Chain A
Amino acid sequence: QKEVEQNSGPLSVPEGAIASLNCTYSDRVSQSFFWYRQYSGKSPELIMSIYSNGDKEDGRFTAQLNKASQYVSLLIRDSQPSDSATYLCAVNPSPFSGGYNKLIFGAGTRLAVHP
């Protein structure tokens, strides 16, 4: 069974702090990993993709991937109340880039940033 696991939260952090969101996956051959943000009542929005071990930074967001540990994380620096949302981790279980493979989504972690 291919699975993506996330802590459901809520993860509560004060404004200005670093929020750390974690995700583990079960399929070792997975090569593509994604973080989506979903505000309540809205559809998911892609915020980061990562394919290689290590860190990838984009503004206040940093995605970290460790394929040996089957672990991917998202750090949000200088958290703002507007970052309060559910963050979905998604994994493409295909060993190849491209193809028609669907994404396997985690259940999401709810982040609450309080002023």
Chain B
Amino acid sequence: GAVVSQHPSWVICKSGTSVKIECRSLDFQATTMFWYRQFPKQSLMLMATSNEGSKATYEQGVEKDKFLINHASLTLSTLTVTSAHPEDSSFYICSARQVDEQFFGPGTRLTVL
């Protein structure tokens, strides 16, 4: 149990385009999901907390207009990177909360050319 999927697993896009990443909890309902970003050889950085049916809570320094989060159902949260630029290239990982534990999706590697 406690399986989280992400789609796509990798994406390459041109600078200025928008990219949507989906995070799904496959065998449980998650009222809370989290979005992280990780640069090579660096720690996980929490970007935002996604709550079903309400607005996401962004961490300090994360632009909410650039990283749009929608948590429309108990099993799906989406992260849209708008007007992506090369500095947005990173490994984006979601997690879903089940009771007191967080389970991570496999991650999405974004490369912006």
Contact = CB atoms under 8 A, between A and B. Distances in A.
Interface of A is mostly: loop
Interface string A91-103: 0100001101011
Nearest to B99: A98
B93 A43 contact: yes
Contacts of B49: 100, 102
Interface residues of A, number: 22
For chain B, what secondary structure do more than half of its interface residues adopt (helix, strand, loop), or is it mixed? strand
Given A88-B44, A100-B32, A107-B43, A43 B104 contact: yes
Contact of B104 (A32, A45, A98, A107): A45
In this complex, which of B2, B100, B101, B107 has the most chain A Cβ atoms within 10 angstroms of its Cβ? B100
A100 B52 CA distance: 11
B106 A92 contact: no
A43 B100 contact: no
A51 B101 CA distance: 11
Contacts, number: 45
B28 interface: no
Contacts of A103: 34, 102
B4 to A, nearest CB: 9
Interface in A1-49: 32, 34, 36, 42-46, 49
B74 interface: no
A78 to B, nearest CB: 26
Contact of B101 (A46, A105, A108): A46
Contacts of B46: 102, 105
Contact of A46 (B34, B99, B102, B107): B102
Given A49-B101, A97-B100, A102-B49, A42 B106 contact: yes
Contacts of B104: 36, 43-46
Nearest to A6: B43
B76 to A, nearest CB: 18
Contacts of B34: 102-103
B100 A98 contact: yes
14 contacts: A34-B101, A42-B107, A44-B44, A44-B104, A45-B104, A46-B2, A49-B100, A49-B101, A90-B102, A98-B100, A100-B97, A102-B34, A102-B49, A103-B102
